[in-house]
Chains A and B, each alone.
Chain A
Amino acid sequence: MIDFTLHRASAILAVMCLFGAAELRGDDLEFFEKKIRPVLAEKCYKCHAADSEKLKGGLQVDHREHLLAGGETGAAIVPGDIEQSLLIESIRYHNEDLQMPPKEKLSEEVVKDFENWVTAGAPWPEEPVPERDGEAAGESFDLKQRFEEHWSWRPVEKPELPQVTQSDWPRSDLDRFILKRVEDAGLEPAEEADRQTWLRRVYFDIIGLPPTQEQQTAFLNDTSEGAREAVVDELLASPHFGEKWARHWMDLVRYAETYGHEFDYPIANAYRYRDYLIRAFNADVPYNDFIIEHIAGDLLEKPRRNPENEVNESVQGTGFWYFHEATHAPTDVLGNEADIMDNQIDVFGKTFLGLTVACARCHDHKFDAISTADYYALTSYLHGSARQEVPLDPGRMREKTRSKLSALKEKADALIDPEVTSPEKVAPIRDGETVYESFSDGKIPAGWSTSGVAFSGTGSKPGIRFSAGDSVSAPGKVDSGLYGEKQVGILRSPTFTIESEFIHLLVRGRAKEIRVIIDNYQMARFSGLLFNGTVRKNLDTEGEYNWITMRSELAKYGGHKAYLEFSDAGNGSLIIDEIRFSSSKDAPELPLTGSQSALPAAAIKLVKEGLELEAALPKPEFAVAMAQGTPESAHVYVRGSHNSPGKEVPGRFLEALGGETGDRLFFANKVADPDNPLTSRVIVNRVWHYLFGRGLVASVDDFGPMGTAPTHPELLDFLASEFVEKGWSIKTLVREIVLSSTYRQSSELNPDVSPGYFAGVDPDNLLLSKMPVKRLPGEAIRDSILAVSGELDARLSGPSVPTYKTRFMTGRGGKKSGPLDGDGRRSVYGAVYRNFLSPFMLTFDVPGPFGPKGRRSVSNVPAQALVLMNDPFVVEQSRKWAEKLDQSKADHSEVIRRIFLSALGRDPRESEREHLEQFLKSEVEGGATKVDALADLVHVVMNMKEFIFIH
């Protein structure tokens, strides 16, 4: 053997010498000059030569050396081996991702010439190697330099408080930073907004709803020193706080309840994540913990539990990874996975770090200190994870029941004679068949993982299982019914590489779903197209052991990665005995299973006792979440192509921020580390953006070199440091800002400042010498309409209300229409169907759920006027409000006052009152009923600009 290898190696060496530059034969040379070089020059040099204007793919083809060195995808030729030569692959035009020349396939004859040339060792005459000028010095990617040059990578440093002239103006330290710049610019801060204006402002900014008449009166009558603080504290404690701030976060994580694409399939239980957010914001979960829950909440040893029902909250944060779009039947499942990961990384990078990490998918970032290796290091975490429908366990009922049943089982098992069951016989293993797992030691095997409490190993001895009529457990299996039929759980195999056509599972019982999940592709449960036989739903073997055959379509998916997932949703149980990978589509023989003897009476009694306990278990609940899969080092996809895998990179944090490797929880902690310069800056800037309508860094999702520079860098760092010092509390930060002098300003320029001067020094009000006017977001507009009409149903949480479907909302995957008024629920509870988004919300710039959106656009278009003028919802609410007003005994003047207080948060001015009274009077005189006239009147008020613009 050794001899042979040596011979072969020297033979190759000999060939290489033979066709090396020195020993070229004449006819080879002629062939090259006639058939090869002219084609290269004509078809390739434009993009692949020393003098190409722009070198494509890093490849030069104007010298053999360059061809051997290759470009970004590797060596262009392997002399003597046409199958390994990318140049040949590309001109053959068989690979859709690699076709050259790009516009036109070379003739078969020319392709043949190139094949012959490469087979002959790719002879090339001796000549100087043409090199490009200054290439290396030019645009090379220097991560360190970029890291050093850009502001947002610098550590957060708490600055000194600036000295200001009007030292009595600041109430909060943050005011000093604002005032300093205002004074330096020769401006004056605006006067304080009147109390009514401020009140309306804080209500919308903190809870997204207008103050009621009673709330206004209470505040205006409270002349005490701490009146504003009291209002703010009350609002921060209101459960509506979470509804308002959760919606901001939902924009970032492209929250949606369907997958979009052709059939808009549902993302089941998405709303649990929305409710998790609402609770988390209401509980003011420290932001660093909140981040860790999002990235690795499933891995926490001590998860945060809901104080009321002890449900694991932390794991639900990981749901955000999975609100991506998804299509059924992708012809290229690995490419599909790569696209989904791109979206996940985009959301992750922008949301938490304000970084456009996803820009480094195909090449090192063009501007920022982020390499392609950084990007693919993050994909390692995604490759090594699994999407799961995690069972929730309110009251920890399932967990507690299991431990009670576990104690009973221990007692009962002791009563069973280990020899009761006769030995089992294994079915013969056929050609082309391997046993993947036989669970012979009766444990969940290493590398396998579970969610929920249902699945466990049956151990090495017979025992009992809590199942009526099927209560003897044989050893050497995995069983989801050992602790009751109503328990729920998931069992996942490690990731394996598909090498056989069929997977035979020897199972008994019932399961909600068994899946072969290929390249993390989740959609086969909706459509079997291209994934036929990879999903088995509502399995029932009718009490007998049976072989279930899954297909892994070797022809299509051979070499792809996959894992098995078994789901028991609490409706029966599943015993898994053995798993085989096989080339045969026919199931193996059914083995002889051990016969069971009757249980002793004492054991039967214990089983009964357990079954009674188990009967009390409630219907199971699930949430979308991440689970740990088999850890993996991802390949860099060269130039973004999954067909060109490059070097491996393990999961690690961005190199610019240390680049340490570790598991996903380690990584989450790195993101939430106080020393990470981006995380705290990004979140305080977001809060500032939501309260002032513009961030200190205007590009809230992009802190990179292509983003905007901070207007107040010291203030940003001051807020970020304080935020961390004060325990990462969003509520504390909101409180600090809304009680500041800066936020209290009127939206009018200070009368002492001339508008001309202001327009000259700060036309965009970047220095905040007055409060910006803000248009309400779509949700607040709709919620306001419901609030003033008295139709708002203020209940919290729960499944979403289906979108009201107009007749313009057609297309595939259509859902049943919801009610016109959305059941009166707040807009945050309206369903988000990707292909059927609410036209009302879209008109008012509620973003489509496709990528992170920290800054919504604020458009100003006639369609908005048409909605408020003619939308049946608005008209209906006007009428409902009018009907209530009509019941009142108050005179017109008082009714008008109430309308203004509800809708605009202020009393009507005299002239306004006169106009409205006149309108009512003349409408009624013209023959309208009072309720009709009132409906028209309140409809007009809802159309006032002041209704949707907040001062």
Chain B
Amino acid sequence: MLRRGAMGFGGVALQALMADSASGAIVNPLAPKVPHFPAKARNVIFLYMDGGPSQVDTFDYKPLLKKYNGQDPREVIGKLAPTQFDNVGKVLEAQWDFKQRGESGNWVSDLFPHLAQSEVIDELAFVKSMTSKFSEHTFANYFLHTGSAFQGRPSMGAWTGYGLGTENQNLPGFVVLNGGLIPPGGLDCFGSGFLPASYQGSVFLPKAEPIANIHRQEKTAEEQIRKLDLLRELDGGAVREAYPDPQIEAAIQNYETAFRMQTAVPDLMDLRGESDAVKKLYGLDADFENTKTFGLQCLLARRLVERGVRFIELTCPSGNGDRWDQHKNLVDGHDKNCKTVDQPIAGLITDLKRQGLLDSTLVVWAGEFGRTPFAQGGDGRDHNPFGFTIWMAGAGIKGGACVGETDEFGYKAVRDRYEIHDLHATMLHLLGIEHTQSTFRFSGRDMRLTDVHGHLIDGVLA
């Protein structure tokens, strides 16, 4: 009964599909495309810090906050913009000590002991003058992910797939490794919007069944293969000859790909080949459960990069207070959030470097906005889109750089102010895409990730 063999289902080589697609008979929207100009980055890992980390407690050192700690910010700072919770407290100094680190001398608070190691910190380039247009999570999340505050627009990962395709046809081109928290705004942060559905982000859970429908429902692989062989007979019969149709050909090919995904995806999740030292590097042996979860996500991110997946986004694990969104209990929440991501991210940078992948992988760390330098109530901070810190590392990035500045309170960007569109333009640029030329006609307009905006953040480019 076993009919698996060279001619059995799943035996068709991947090259065959690609050859067909090159001939134009089948349009494969995910086939690799030639960039506008030689790319620095082949892959992107986007570390999404859901909720908005506090810049003044992490990387944006503002000694003046100490001086005015406990005073009325309206008197010290001046007129304040409306805040989300409208509960303005006193000026609140950084809750952790800062030191200059590495050769670059960039400031890092005690929240990030692993990132602060000189071999890691000097890979990072900081933008301390990032701004967003929105104070609410969902608007700001859509804006960060899609360049628009409206729900239902393509995510940056989808735009990347649209511009470049992907290199592994057995895995999606845009993978979201979900640590447990889907950001406010939901899965639409990772959608393909008006772009074809094949570009949408596939949400993988760091678990044995990472995506839906990836496991066969048949009792044995042989049973499934027998069925798929029968299917191929039926699909390939008289009907196909009578009605040759490219979309039906493509649909038939999709079964080959789907079948191979059933193997490729579990293979991705199988960590038996990873050494204990590597697992330790990522914190998979940590005491804190969320460090392990995020460590696994970071390790999977590297494995996805190795497999040619174009755009990988990581979301945060749950249980650290409310994401990075510390409207109260700042110390406890930020402590846990940093403990969750610090070692795994440092491990990721180190590991990518060792594997020679950092040169071709762009790593971006960003929240949707920052937090206020004054308290919300007593021990929290409210949303602050007017000036916050993000960093980038890896492909095409000038490690150790630091651009932009907020005012002396860390409240608003005042020098080299950048906005999310500029981050997008820079990311696309490193991928070899000219952001003004990557367009899609929708709703009577040539739409772009950067809308009508976007300037390169020159200072972080190598």
Contact = CB atoms under 8 A, between A and B. Distances in A.
B186 A264 contact: yes
A413 B222 CA distance: 86
A845 B197 contact: yes
Nearest to B415: A104
29 contacts: A93-B414, A104-B417, A105-B414, A261-B151, A261-B185, A343-B150, A346-B443, A356-B445, A701-B443, A702-B444, A704-B444, A775-B251, A807-B205, A808-B203, A812-B182, A835-B186, A857-B196, A860-B254, A863-B197, A865-B254, A866-B261, A869-B255, A870-B213, A911-B238, A915-B233, A941-B234, A943-B231, A945-B248, A946-B235
B82 A332 contact: yes
B258 A866 contact: yes
B217 interface: yes
B243 A773 contact: yes
A834 to B, nearest CB: 7
Contacts of A843: 197
A480 B432 CA distance: 67
Contacts of A359: 443-445
Given A329-B136, A706-B445, A260 B258 contact: no
Interface string B141-183: 0000000011110000000000000000000000000101111
B122 interface: no
A14 B82 CA distance: 41
A97 to B, nearest CB: 9
Interface string A833-872: 0111101001101001111000001111111111101111
Contacts of B407: 105
Q: Which of B137, B255, B441 has the most CB of A within 10 A?
A: B255
Contacts of B216: 869-870
A862 B85 CA distance: 45
A675 interface: no
A367 B441 CA distance: 14
B135 interface: yes
B99 to A, nearest CB: 28
Nearest to B233: A915
Given A104-B414, A262-B184, A944-B234, A808 B257 contact: no
A260 B153 CA distance: 14
A813 to B, nearest CB: 8
Given A810-B182, A870-B217, A922-B1, A260 B188 contact: yes
A407 interface: no
Contacts of A866: 212-214, 258, 261
Contact of B443 (A556, A812, A851, A871): A851
A552 interface: no
Interface string B221-234: 00110111011011
A595 interface: no
Interface in A906-951: 909, 911-912, 915-916, 919, 922-923, 926, 936-937, 939-941, 943-946, 948-949, 951
Interface string A604-625: 0000000000000000000000
Given A859-B196, A860-B251, A839 B443 contact: no
Q: Which of A325, A368, A807, A811 has the most CB of B within 10 A?
A: A811
Given A773-B248, A869-B213, A922-B1, 17 more contacts: A96-B386, A105-B412, A260-B138, A261-B138, A329-B136, A332-B82, A811-B186, A811-B187, A848-B188, A851-B152, A859-B197, A861-B198, A864-B254, A871-B212, A911-B238, A926-B1, A944-B235
A936 B242 CA distance: 26
B250 interface: yes
A775 B49 CA distance: 40
A949 B414 contact: no
B237 A808 contact: no
Contacts of A223: none
A748 B242 contact: yes
A103 interface: yes
Contact of A862 (B183, B205, B217, B254): B254
Q: Nearest 10 pairs between A and B by C-beta? A: A850-B152, A835-B186, A811-B182, A865-B258, A262-B184, A706-B444, A859-B197, A356-B444, A870-B213, A862-B257
Interface of A: 93-94, 96, 102-105, 260-262, 264, 325, 327, 329-332, 339, 343, 346, 350, 356, 359, 367-368, 529-530, 556, 699, 701-702, 704, 706-707, 747-748, 773, 775, 806-813, 834-837, 839, 842-843, 845, 848-851, 857-867, 869-872, 875, 909, 911-912, 915-916, 919, 922-923, 926, 936-937, 939-941, 943-946, 948-949, 951
Contact of B186 (A834, A858, A862): A834
Contacts of B224: 869
B238 A325 contact: no
B330 to A, nearest CB: 19
B71 interface: no
A598 to B, nearest CB: 52
A contacts with B: majority SS: loop
B211 interface: yes
Given A869-B255, A869-B258, A911-B237, A936 B191 contact: no
B197 A529 contact: no
B98 to A, nearest CB: 24
Q: Which of A331, A701, A848, A858 has the most CB of B within 10 A?
A: A331
Contacts of B135: 331
Interface of B: 1, 29, 79, 81-86, 135-139, 149-152, 178, 180-188, 191, 194, 196-198, 202-203, 205, 211-218, 223-224, 226-228, 230-231, 233-235, 237-240, 242-243, 245, 247-248, 250-252, 254-255, 257-258, 261, 386, 407, 412, 414-418, 441, 443-445
Contacts of B191: 848
Contacts of A261: 138, 151, 184-185
A400 B196 CA distance: 54
Contacts of A863: 197, 202, 213, 258
B444 A331 contact: no
Nearest to A346: B443
A260 B250 contact: no
Nearest to A864: B254
B85 A940 contact: no
B205 A946 contact: no
Contacts of A941: 234
B182 A857 contact: no
A870 B1 contact: no
A865 B234 contact: no
Given A811-B186, A850-B152, A949 B248 contact: yes
Nearest to A870: B213
B198 A859 contact: yes
A834 B142 CA distance: 14
B212 A842 contact: no
Contact of B230 (A346, A915, A945): A915
A865 B212 CA distance: 12
Contacts of B185: 260-262, 835
Nearest to A810: B182
Contacts of A943: 231, 255
Contacts of A260: 138, 151, 185-186, 188
Contacts of B205: 807-808
A946 B241 CA distance: 13
Nearest to B185: A261
Contacts of A912: 234, 237-238
A747 B414 contact: no
Q: Which of B139, B187, B255 has the most CB of A within 10 A?
A: B187
B255 A702 contact: no
A870 B261 CA distance: 12
A773 B218 CA distance: 31
B184 A812 contact: yes
Nearest to A99: B417
Contact of A327 (B136, B181, B441, B445): B136
B247 A773 contact: yes
Contacts of A346: 443
Nearest to B255: A865
B162 to A, nearest CB: 13
